[in-house]
Amino acid sequence: MAGVLEGRRGLIMGVANDRSIGWGIAQAAHREGAELAFTYVGESLERRVRPLAASLGSELLLPCDVQSDADIESAFGEIGTRWGGLDFLVHSVAFANRDELKGLYLDTTRDGFRLALDVSVFSLVAAARAAAPLMREGGSILTLTYLGGERTIPHYNVMGVAKAALDASVRYLAADLGPRGIRVNAISAGPIRTLAAAGIGDFRTILDWYAQNSPLRHNTTQDEVGDAALMLLGGWGRGITGEVLHVDSGYNTTAVPPAAVPEE
Ligand code: NAD
């Protein structure tokens, strides 16, 4: 049976290593028949990402610091030249200074705020604008968000505010691009131990809390996110846009965590 992404071409932005959520999505998309390209930032990441991309049969690896308009233009220009079009884009990129991810949101600096929102939110707008002309027959854009944009989570601070802006950007981009047949969605993943997560204060405690208190009683895995992404990237999700889909063992649905109530 043909895979759900057979014959589709997709660009994955934001693989740093084999723990990256973007890598989980790339593996699922490859398994279902997609042809993939990757972007990376910096030479050291190129060395890590190149063999990963090659293991999925991809040679198309492009430098792209999302803070640079020139990089974005050149990466999507190269996709246009090599492929002539694009079916889906996975935006799995975020950054905030480590100092902003501990202590109080009240202490966020102006520079830290600008940096977090530029890399983690504006980059989606810029990438969507560059991708849209390549999606001539429609397409799907997917970003990664977190519950810290809807509720306060200790230490998530400016990244929570960035995720709230990202969620709103998903809805505005979906409104803008819907008439062109381009869908824009987000997956709100439960906490997963990755490079980006390592910068968040007390991340271990958050992981343990989710495992004990989510309805499914386990931590979200990369491949759970990858499998859910297949639906949004491919034809099964054709009626879905502007949506934030929680892939978090159901944690977001709980009000009183089980651990707060003694067992009878
Ligand atoms: P990760 O560190 O593996 O991925 C983050 C990526 O962002 C890296 O590849 C990094 O190179 C890239 N990046 C940072 N600055 C960049 C820049 N200027 N230009 C281009 N790329 C840049 O960590 P991850 O956890 O896989 O993060 C991917 C996405 O998932 C992020 O948006 C993150 O907020 C989100 N997310 C993570 C979790 C979690 O618990 N790990 C939960 C929910 C959502």
Residues touching ligand 1 (Cβ under 6 Å) are: 14-16, 20-22, 41, 45, 64-67, 92-95, 119, 144-146, 189, 191-192, 194-197
Q: Does any domain span residue 157?
A: yes
pLDDT at residue 261, as a whole number: 80
- Phi, psi torsion values for 140, nearest 5 degrees: -140, 130
Distance 262 CA to ligand 1 centre (A): 37
Q: Does any domain span residue 1?
A: no
pLDDT tens per residue, range 160-194: 999 999 999 999 999 999 999 999 999 999 999 99
pLDDT at residue 201, as a whole number: 79
Kindly report the pTM of this predicted structure: 0.98
Residue range of the domain that includes 123 = 9-260
Q: Which atom of ligand 1 is nearest to the CA of 195?
A: 2
- Here the CATH number for the domain that contains residue 195 is 3.40.50.720
Q: Does any domain span residue 64?
A: yes
d(CA 79, CA 70): 14
Q: Does any domain span residue 45?
A: yes
pLDDT tens per residue, range 146-161: 999 999 999 999 999 9
Q: Does any domain span residue 4?
A: no
Q: Does any domain span residue 2?
A: no
pLDDT tens per residue, range 219-254: 999 999 999 999 999 999 999 999 999 999 999 999
pLDDT at residue 183, as a whole number: 98
Stronger pLDDT, 42 or 83, i.e. the higher one: 83
d(CA 181, CA 135): 9
Confidence of residue 212 (pLDDT cuts 50, 70, 90): very high
Domain total of the chain: 1
Confidence of residue 1 (pLDDT cuts 50, 70, 90): confident
